[in-house]
Chain A
Amino acid sequence: MLEVHGLKKRYGRKKPILEGVSFSVRPDSITCLIGLNGEGKSTILKAIMGLVPVDAGTVLVDGEVSREKIAFVPDLQTMPGYMTIGDALLYMSDYYPDWNPKVAEELMGLFKLLTTDKILELSKGNQAKFSLVLGFALDRPYLLLDEPFAGIDLFTKEQIAWIFSSHYMEGRGILMTTHEIIEIEHLIDRVVFLQDGRIIDEHDTEEMREVYGKSVQDRMREVYQR
Chain B
Amino acid sequence: MKQYLMLTNEELKRSWKMIVSVILAMASIEILTVVGRVIYHERQIKEYMSYSKLTESEALRSFGKLSFGLASVYFGYIVLVGIVLVILYAVQIWYRDWFGESKYIYRLLLLPGSRAKIFFAKFTSLALVIISFIGLQWVVIQLSYAIFNWLIKDDYRTSSFNIPIELNQLYTMNLIDTLILVVLALFIVSFLFMLVLLERSYRKVKGLLFIVLEVVAFFIIMVGGMYVIEKLDFFLSQEISAIMLAIFVLYFVYTIWKSLRLLKWKISV
Closest to A134 in B: B107
With A77-B103, A95-B3, A119-B102 as known contacts, state yes or no: A51 contacts B110, CB within 8 Å. yes
Q: Decide if A163 is an interface residue (CB 8 Å cutoff).
A: no
For B267, the chain A residues whose CB sits under 8 A away are 53
Q: How many residues of A contact B (CB 8 A)?
A: 26
**Is B232 among interface residues, defined by CB-CB distance under 8 A?**
no
Is the Cβ of A120 less than 8 Å from the Cβ of B101? yes
Cα of A96 to Cα of B2 in the assembled complex, Å: 12
Q: For A53, A96, A119, which residue has the most chain B Cβ atoms within 10 angstroms?
A: A53
Stretch at the interface among A26-34, A68-76, A107-115, A169-177: A68-76
Q: Determine the distance from Cα of A89 to Cα of B265 in the docked complex, in whole angstroms.
A: 29
CB nearest neighbor in A for B206: A12
The majority secondary structure among interface residues of chain A is loop
Which of B3, B104, B109 sits near A80, CB closer than 8 Å?
A: B104
Q: Are A74 and B106 touching (Cβ within 8 A)?
A: yes
Given the complex, which residues of B lie within 8 Å of A82, measured CB to CB?
14
Q: Which chain A positions have C-beta within 8 A of B10?
A: 80, 91
Q: For residue B107, which residues in chain A have a CB less than 8 angstroms away from its CB?
A: 78-79
Q: List B residues 1-51 near A (Cβ within 8 Å).
A: 3, 6, 10, 14
CB of A76 within 8 A of CB of B109, answer no
Q: What separation, in Å, do the CA atoms of A76 and B267 have in the docked complex?
A: 18
Of B3, B111, B205, B268, which one neighbours A51 at CB under 8 angstroms? B268
Bound together, the chains give a CA A137 to CA B101 distance in angstroms of 24
Q: How far is the CB of A34 from chain B (nearest CB, A)?
A: 23
Q: Are B204 and A12 in contact (CB under 8 A)?
A: yes
Determine if A63 is an interface residue (Cβ-Cβ < 8 Å): no
Chain A residues within an 8 Å CB radius of B100: 80-81
Residue of A46, A119, A120 near B269 (CB, 8 A) is A46
CB-contact partner of A76 in B102, B201, B266, under 8 A? B102
B106 near A76 with CB under 8 A, answer yes
Query: Assuming A53-B265, A80-B14, A81-B100, is B110 touching A97 (CB within 8 A)?
Result: no
Which of A51, A53, A81 interacts with B102 by CB under 8 Å?
A: A81
Verify B112–A68 contact, CB threshold 8 A: yes
User: Please, which residues of chain B bring their CB within 8 A of the CB of A152?
Assistant: none
Q: Are A78 and B268 in contact (CB under 8 A)?
A: no
Give the Cβ gap from B233 to chain A, nearest Cβ, in Å. 46
Q: Does A101 contact B (CB under 8 A)?
A: no
Q: B38 → chain A, closest Cβ, in Å?
A: 41
With A51-B268, A53-B266, A53-B267 as given contacts, are A120 and B102 in contact (CB-CB < 8 Å)? yes
Q: State the Cβ distance, A51 to closest chain B Cβ, in Å.
A: 4
Determine which of B3, B101, B106, B201 lies in contact with A81 in the assembled complex, contact meaning CB atoms within 8 Å.
B101
Bound-state Cα–Cα, A67 to B114, Å: 12
Determine how close the nearest CB of chain A comes to the CB of B119; give it in whole angstroms.
16
List CB contacts (< 8 Å) of A92-109 with chain B. Answer: 94-98
Task: Please provide the chain A residues from 116 to 172 with a CB less than 8 Å away from any CB of chain B in the complex.
Answer: 119-120
Assess A76 versus B112: contact at CB under 8 Å? Given A52-B268, A53-B268.
no
State whether the Cβ of A50 lies closer than 8 Å to any Cβ in chain B: yes
Residue of A68, A80, A96 contacting most chain B CB atoms (<10 Å): A80
Q: Which residues of B contact A53 (CB under 8 A)?
A: 201, 265-268
Asked whether A49 is an interface residue with its Cβ less than 8 Å from the other chain, the reply is: yes
- Contact assessment for B101 and A78 in the assembled complex, using a CB-CB cutoff below 8 Å: no
Report B86-109 CB contacts with A as 1/0, cut-off 8 Å: 000000000000001111101101
Q: A196 to chain B: closest CB distance in Å?
A: 22
How many Å lie between the Cα of A95 and that of B205 in the bound state? 36
Q: Which residues of B contact A119 (CB under 8 A)?
A: 102
- Pairwise interchain contact B104-A51, C-beta atoms closer than 8 A: no
Q: A92: nearest residue on chain B (CB-CB)?
A: B107
As a 0/1 sequence over residues 212 to 227 of chain B, the CB contacts with chain A under 8 angstroms (1 = contact) are 0000000000000000
What CA separation (Å) do A49 and B102 show in the bound complex? 19
Whole-angstrom distance between the Cβ of A54 and the nearest chain B Cβ: 10
Q: In the complex the two chains form, what is the Cα distance from A91 to B112 in whole Å? A: 13
Additional A-B contacts beyond A77-B103, A79-B104 (14; CB < 8 A): A12-B206, A52-B268, A52-B269, A78-B103, A78-B104, A78-B107, A78-B110, A79-B102, A80-B14, A80-B102, A81-B101, A96-B111, A96-B112, A98-B112
8 A-B contacts (beta carbon < 8 Å): A49-B109, A52-B268, A78-B102, A78-B110, A80-B14, A95-B111, A98-B112, A120-B101
